[in-house]
Amino acid sequence: MLIARLLAALARARQSEVERGITLVGPHRDDLVLQLGELPAKGYASHGESWSYALALKLAAYDLLCSDGGQPMLILDDVFAELDGGRRDRLADLVAPAEQVLVTAAVPGDVPENLQGARYDVAAGEVRRVR
């Protein structure tokens, strides 16, 4: 049934897709609807809840990529700034076993000390190893 619906939608969109030079139908175009109870997160979630959803989705995608035995790099771009101390520590403990983690932070103190590895400062066009 799903295949038939997808094929029908593709057939309906074909002319527009050719004219516009883009694909208009397919799973890559689906919107993800996240909910907080009965309400959609979009428009109702607080900043912290939205941040938690985004981080959870990123970690889930990382786990999915690891599920076939791969070891992708996990990139956390200034995520610790949005978290309180307890959540920072729990996130650091959660990602610490990853083979490769790249963390950026505008404020070095935002990155928990329990997250091991090399640390670099980048300032005034220079890179300096600090640990």
What CATH number does residue 52 fall under? Answer: 3.40.50.300
User: For position 100, what pLDDT does the model report?
Assistant: 92
61 and 73 part of one domain: yes
**Own/partner long-range contacts of 51-58 (Cβ < 8 Å, ≥24 apart):** 51/82, 51/83, 55/79, 55/91, 57/32
Q: What is the pLDDT of residues 16-72, one digit of tens each?
A: 999 999 989 887 776 778 888 899 888 899 888 888 888 999 999 999 999 988 899
85 and 45 part of one domain: yes
74 and 20 part of one domain: no
122 and 98 part of one domain: yes
11 and 39 part of one domain: no
Written as six digits, the tokens of 125 are 């066009």
11 and 53 part of one domain: no
Q: Which domain holds residue 20?
A: 1-30
Give me the number of domains the chain comprises. 2
pTM, two decimals, is 0.68
- Residue 15 confidence class, pLDDT cut points 50, 70, 90: very high
63 and 20 part of one domain: no
